[in-house]
Chain A
Amino acid sequence: MRVMKKAIITVVGKDTVGILAKTCTYLAKANINILDISQTVVSGYFNMMMIVDASSCRKAFEDVAAELGELGLGMGLKIRCQKSEIFEKMHRV
């Protein structure tokens, strides 16, 4: 059985055209499925959180995280991709 490898992607920075498009294009190429997206723009600041399933991704997880980080830098944004357990463990008894 395929084991779900859930990850959380957060994008923070100044709003600009194409943030979502570029991020999603990268994820599609890497064969990472998006499960949930929520985003807000408050006074020009873009703030997005994605829950993704990376179980079919052929790349190493840390490479994905590094490449997304670079993609963010190119747009002047901070993109972080972290395994979801850190959030689950920290906030659940």
Chain B
Amino acid sequence: MIDRSEVLETNKMILEENLDVRTITMGISLLDCADASLAKTCDNVSAKLKRLAGRLVRTGDEIGREFGVPIVNKRISVTPAAIVGSACCRKPSDFVRIARTLDRTAKSLGVNFIGGYSAIVSKGMTPADEMLIRSIPAAMAETERVCSSVNVGSTMTGIDMDAVRLMGEIVKETAERTAKRDSIGCAKLVVLCNAPDDNPFMAGAFHGVTEGDAVVNVGVSGPGVVNHVLKSCRDADFETLCETIKRTAFKITRVGQLVAQEASRRLGVPFGIIDLSLAPTPAVGDSVADILKEIGLEQPGAPGTTAALALLNDQVKKGGVMASSYVGGLSGAFIPVSEDQGMIDAVNAGALTIEKLEAMTCVCSVGLDMIAVPGSTSAASISGIIADEAAIGMVNQKTTAVRIIPVVGKRVGDNVNFGGLLGHAPVMKVSKFSCAQMVSRKGRIPAPIHSFKN
């Protein structure tokens, strides 16, 4: 029997605490679209996306209305474009044509982002991988909805430092190509280590080659709900605190699981995974930073922040895995700066620095995310930041990422506004000391040892 208080609780979460399903992301393999002719490849890609995802947006909206829970984004992830285009692309501008096809098709399907303009170069780059990477600045400038990601390392392969060096330059060039729009191109570009094949969240979503032909992945959300429930245990001990977070994560994940199963059934596409991430939005109260404050920090960035975040991340997973048998993607708390009002406030208060954020990424998903830095930051320094994050991911066997925006013409303390879900961000200080000599070394960092764990 359904209990009245449970109905009220669920609806309060939805109506007052910003509970939503953040995204239904349909992963689609484009391997069978590859052709020796570029025009034919683009036609195949467009036709397959329309065939499989034609009803995606409508179905997502329908489910949202029937269960009374908002499903904010309907998105698509595809096979890394570097693989799809390897037989037909002869120069970087050929890849840009694939990007334009993805963008046009995404627009016609009504999805707000399509991920997978990607290259997986954990150990080395094929000529096609390198061409795709070199095409990213143009692709990000010329398209609106395409998201790009490059995986530069993994625990099993080490870090491809040639790709890291190149990505420093590509991030800079992408910023310059979109300089008139606060370098927004970089907000759609992420550099990863240990990238998962089934991530539903942008900008790092792509449909890995380990996946089937098509799959439905769902990303849940709910920092606002966790934040609200923690208000009731301000003086409680750690056991109560952890138990409360776990219970809440269970409830949030169950909603995601229900939506995922319904979407899978109605679209006739297998259900893949639920991503248990606490994904904040710029909306007031929908903030991971506020949860950290509720745990007992004056501001995120204060001593104790890493411990609080580690605790939060672990409880979210423990509650979530009980609610769904298939958990994957990134699954953890996101700590983007521009998309979380509490983080923005912490930076403005002088509490949070890039170095502290880096420490926080050791214990949560996913990495240095949506961080605006001065436009004068060198490509080598950006490569250094990428290398640091990749090293954390490689050694700790976890996903890490860098989505950093060197905003052209902006200095520390300035503000940039990306609009919508991407939010706004204060420009943060980067260490002025150089790592150029290290970054200029060729080759790769070897994989870490997998034995001698003592």
Tell me whether chain B's interface is mostly helix, strand or loop, or mixed.
helix
Chain B residues within 8 Å of A14, by CB: none
Tell whether, in the assembled complex, residue B251 and residue A83 are in contact, meaning their CB atoms are under 8 Å apart: no
A90 touches B6 (CB 8 A): yes
Asked, given contacts A8-B7, A86-B258, A89-B255, whether A65 binds B66 with beta carbons under 8 Å apart, the answer is: yes
Q: Is B31 an interface residue (CB 8 A)?
A: no
Question: Using an 8 Å CB-CB cutoff, how does the interface string of A51-93 with B read, 1 for contact, 0 for none?
Answer: 1000000000110011000000000000011111111111101
Contacts of B254 in A (CB 8 A): 89-90
Q: Is there an interface contact between B10 and A90, defined as CB atoms closer than 8 Å?
A: yes
A87 touches B7 (CB 8 A): yes
Annotate A11-25 by CB proximity to B: 1 below 8 A, 0 otherwise.
000000000000000
What residues of chain A lie closer than 8 Å to B62, measured between beta carbons?
62
- Residues of B in contact (CB 8 Å), total 21
On whether the beta carbons of B255 and A86 are closer than 8 Å, the reply is yes
A27 within 8 Å of B (CB atoms): no
B11 contacts chain A at the CB level, 8 A cutoff: yes
Taken together as a complex, chains A and B put the C-alpha atoms of A81 and B69 apart, in Å, by: 11
A89-B255, A90-B251, A91-B3 known; A83 vs B11 contact (CB < 8 Å): no
Give A48's nearest chain B residue, CB to CB: B4
A-B contact count (CB 8 A): 55
**What A residues does B4 contact at CB under 8 A?**
38, 49
Interface size on A, residues (CB 8 A): 22
Residues of A within 8 A of B2 (CB): 8, 51, 84, 87-88
Asked whether any CB of chain A lies closer than 8 Å to the CB of B68, the reply is yes
Known: A49-B4, A90-B254, A91-B251. A85 touches B67 (CB 8 A): yes
Name B340-370 residues within 8 Å CB distance of A.
Answer: none
Interface string of B56-73 (1 = CB under 8 A from A): 000000100111110000
Confirm or deny: B257 has a beta carbon within 8 angstroms of a beta carbon on chain A.
yes
Q: How far is the CA of A80 from the CA of B254 in the complex (A)?
A: 20
B interface residues (Cβ-Cβ under 8 A, vs A): 2-4, 6-11, 62, 65-69, 251, 254-255, 257-258, 322
- 14 A-B pairs within 8 Å (CB atoms) are namely A10-B8, A38-B4, A49-B7, A84-B2, A86-B258, A87-B2, A87-B10, A89-B255, A89-B258, A90-B6, A90-B10, A90-B254, A90-B255, A91-B9
* A interface, CB within 8 angstroms of B: 8, 10, 38, 49, 51, 61-62, 65-66, 80-91, 93
